[in-house]
Amino acid sequence: MTKQHNINDVQEPIINAPPEVRQIIERVWQLEKSRLDKKSLSHINDDILAIVKEAVQ
């Protein structure tokens, strides 16, 4: 199996997800990326919960 094939397998559920789900994934990814850049060790659960609640309203 090639590396590109593995990447496509991982991305397939995201690509085929409804727009609302893709938006949640994108926002959580950006949040986690910014936390890693800052080397933040605080809990992320409340931030993720807020993102999901906002998306389903």
Residue 8, pLDDT score? 75
Q: What pLDDT does residue 30 have?
A: 93
- Yes or no: say if 24 and 44 are a contact pair by the CB < 8 Å rule: no
- The Cα–Cα gap between 41 and 18 comes to 31
Tens digit of pLDDT for each residue in 1-42? 566 667 778 888 888 999 999 999 999 999 988 888 887 777
Q: Is 23 exposed, middle or buried (CB count within 10 Å of its CB: 0-12, 13-18, 19+)? A: middle
Of 8 and 47, the one with more pLDDT: 47
Q: Return d(Cα 44, Cα 51) in angstroms, integer.
A: 11
Residue 26, pLDDT score: 92
